[in-house]
Amino acid sequence: AKIGKALPHSRLKAFVDHTYEEMVCQRVGQIMCGYEDANDCDCLRHDSVLKLAVGSKTSDKALSSQPTMTRMENGISKETLFVIAYLFLDHFIASYENAHRRFIIDADDTNANTYGAKELSLFNDYYGEYCFIPLLLMEGYTGKMILPILRPCRLNKSLNVHGILPRVIEYLHSVWPRTIFMLRGDCHFCSHDFMDWEH
């Protein structure tokens, strides 16, 4: 629901049937059930369990259709993605009652196979599939998610590391100034810019 509230509300209220909060809950619910494509909205918009998950009654109107969901997804700007990223960081921070003395930030990427003509999906020889390569930042002691970042399938995996990790660490340091953050990742995350920033 917080992600839905973070989206800019530029729609005309007279024509709005579904709030962004409902639409985000619907989309996340569908993905959790294994329905990743927005096309699945048309088949599942009358599903009673999904309606309950969104907070509607089973007798209420249908949930969002594929065109409505796609308009929401395509309307998200780079600035909004930064806001959503900070929501993930706030959620991670809120999961701790007290500041810890030390955290390990594990940076790891994985493949998310794609099917059909997905934008920015490329063939990766290592995985032998067309895929995206999401970057996952996890806390090393507990395994808690810090921040997931969907990235296109690129060969140079050090791209964006210098732009992402310093922001994450600086934000966490603003809340926990005495906490030591250790970074752990494979050698392909090496970046001269990032190493210079560390020192």
CA pair distance 105, 120, nearest whole angstrom: 27
- pLDDT value at position 153? 77
CA pair distance 170, 155, nearest whole angstrom: 27
pLDDT digits (tens, 9 = 90+) for 147-188: 999 888 765 655 567 778 889 999 999 999 999 999 888 776
180-185 and 102-109 beta bridge pairing? parallel
Question: Which phi and psi angles does 166 have, rounded to 5°?
Answer: -60, -40
Q: Could you tell me the pLDDT band of residue 27, with boundaries at 50, 70 and 90?
A: very high
Name the nearest CA neighbour of 104 among 191, 158, 169. Answer: 169
Do residues 166 and 197 touch, judged by C-beta distance below 8 A? yes
The residues near 19 (Cβ < 8 Å, ≥ 6 apart) are: 4
Name the nearest CA neighbour of 109 among 91, 89, 126. Answer: 126
Which pair of tokens denotes residue 21?
A: 């909060």
- pLDDT value at position 156? 60
- pLDDT value at position 158? 59
- pLDDT value at position 199? 45
Helix (H, G, I), strand (E, B) or coil at 142: coil
Which strands sit side by side in the sheet containing 112-113, from one edge to the other? Answer: 112-113, 129-132, 122-124
- pLDDT value at position 57? 82
> What predicted TM-score, i.e. pTM, was given to this entire model?
0.84
pLDDT digits (tens, 9 = 90+) for 79-121: 999 999 999 999 999 999 988 899 999 988 888 888 877 888 8
Domain ranges within the chain, ordered by starting residue: 2-74, 78-198
